Amino acid sequence: MTKFLSGTLLLLMIVCTSTLKAQNNSKTYNYSVIKPDDWIIPRNDTVDYTFNEYLGQKALLMKRKYGNYKAGTPVYPRNLNFKDGVIELDIAWPGAKGGYVGFAFRIKDAHHYETVYFRPESSRTINAIQYMPEKKTDFNWWDYESDKYQAKAILPMHAWFHVKAIIKGSTVSVFINNETKPSLVYNHLDASLKSGSVGYWFGNSSDGAYKNLIVKCF
């Protein structure tokens, strides 16, 4: 019995030490203020951006000049290397039709990343939240239409909503508006996309609004 208790105590000490070490090694990055020179923010003949207010809140406002169902645009800081951790941000969809707004993580470049995006027009349906990895020139969402990549959620049509994502290994859990239960849990993240930056994601929408990105790396 004594040997058993000693072994159990030793195991608990190892677990506690590992947890404390992980917490001590974590680092938080606050991107509430965006410095454009330190970010990749596309501005070209198809997409543009401004810093302005939306519903009284200062934000990054993305605008797509014409519709393209193959469009997916990550917007992210240059010198961030994220593998596991916590991502928090606020998102809104100011557009009139076709809202696709979200966040991207483990970003290597414009065509290699993972994303979770939201469809406010599909609130309360299985299409409200979508996960997918992007590894092609075109944003090939049609390859990820299965229900296993999607989840129901209550999303406001045009108001701001808060997103928190916990990413650990092959799992992402997504919480909306500080709910205690995740709206999406996906356990098969793409093994080929191990680490990279974190940022906003702008799909085939006329407009998207983003603010208060905070990233905690484990």
Reported as a single tens digit per residue, the pLDDT across 122-163 is: 999 999 999 999 998 778 888 888 999 999 999 999 999 999
pLDDT for 145: 87
DSSP state, residue 203:
-
CATH of the domain at 37: 2.60.120.560
Cα-only R_g, the chain = 19
Q: Give tens-digit pLDDT for 154-209.
A: 999 999 999 999 999 999 999 999 999 999 999 999 999 999 999 999 999 999 99
Quick check: is 2 in a domain?
A: no
CA 89 vs CA 32, 33, 164, 170, 206: distances in Å: 9, 12, 7, 21, 20
Quick check: is 68 in a domain?
A: yes
Q: Give how many domains the chain has, as a whole number.
A: 1
Contact 164, 183 (CB under 8 A): no
How is residue 91 written in tokens?
């998102």
Per mean pLDDT, which range of 34-48, 75-89, 95-109, 134-148 is the poorest?
A: 134-148
- For residue 39, give its domain range: 28-217
Quick check: is 17 in a domain?
A: no
pLDDT for 18: 46
